Amino acid sequence: MLEDNAKSRYDTFLEAYLSSELRLVNSSLPRARRSLSELLHESHPFVVCADGTHQLLKRVELRFLESILDDEDRQELLLPIIIEMSGDGSEALVLCHSHAELVVLEAVLGMELSYERPGRVRLYRPQLSILRRKLRTTTQYAFSARSIA
C-alpha cells in the first residue's frame, strides 16, 4: 500500500513538473492568432505571445500565403499556424482551424493531404522541414506531453 501511495505521489509530482516545464516551453505561443487579411494591412505585422513579447511575421511569407489563398481563405487563415509536437519529434499534427490551413499545407508541400481527424493533419519530419523552411515566422511549434498517435 505504501508503494502505491508513493508511486501516485511521484506521478502527481512528475505531471505537475512536466506541466510547468511545458508551460515555459510554450510561453512563446500567441495569446491570440490573427487573420492573414488583417496582418497584410499592417506595416509591421506581429502577434502578441503568451509571455507578452511580439513575434514579427515576415512580409514575404504573408505575400506568399496571399498568393495561394482566395479572399475568404485569407479571412479564415489564422496565423501563426500551430504545429503540435510530442514524443520523439518524428511526426507532428498541424492544427487546422479552417480549410485554409489545409490549402496552405498542400501548396507548400506540393502534395494532397487529408485530415487525420477533424481539425488535424499529420506531418512527418521531412514535411515539417519543408514547411518550416518556407514559413519560418508564420508557423509555430507547440509542445505537448500527450501522445499524438
Question: Is 63 part of any domain?
Answer: yes
Question: Is 52 part of any domain?
Answer: yes
Q: What angle do CA 31, 38, 68 make, to 5 degrees?
A: 110
Q: Read off the pLDDT of residues 32-58 as tens digits, 9 standing for 90 and up.
A: 999 999 999 999 999 999 999 999 999
Question: Is 114 part of any domain?
Answer: yes
How many domains does the chain fold into?
1
Question: Is 98 part of any domain?
Answer: yes
Question: Is 93 part of any domain?
Answer: yes
pTM assigned to the model: 0.82
Question: Is 149 part of any domain?
Answer: no
State mean pLDDT over 134-147: 86
Q: Read off the pLDDT of residues 95-106 as tens digits, 9 standing for 90 and up.
A: 998 999 999 999
Provide CB contacts within 8 A for 121, sequence distance 6+: 93, 94, 96, 101, 102, 105, 113, 114, 115
Q: Read off the pLDDT of residues 84-127 as tens digits, 9 standing for 90 and up.
A: 987 777 789 999 989 999 999 999 999 999 999 899 999 999 99
The pLDDT of residue 148 is 52
Per the structure, the complete domain to which residue 16 belongs is given by 2-143
Question: Is 119 part of any domain?
Answer: yes
Question: Is 148 part of any domain?
Answer: no
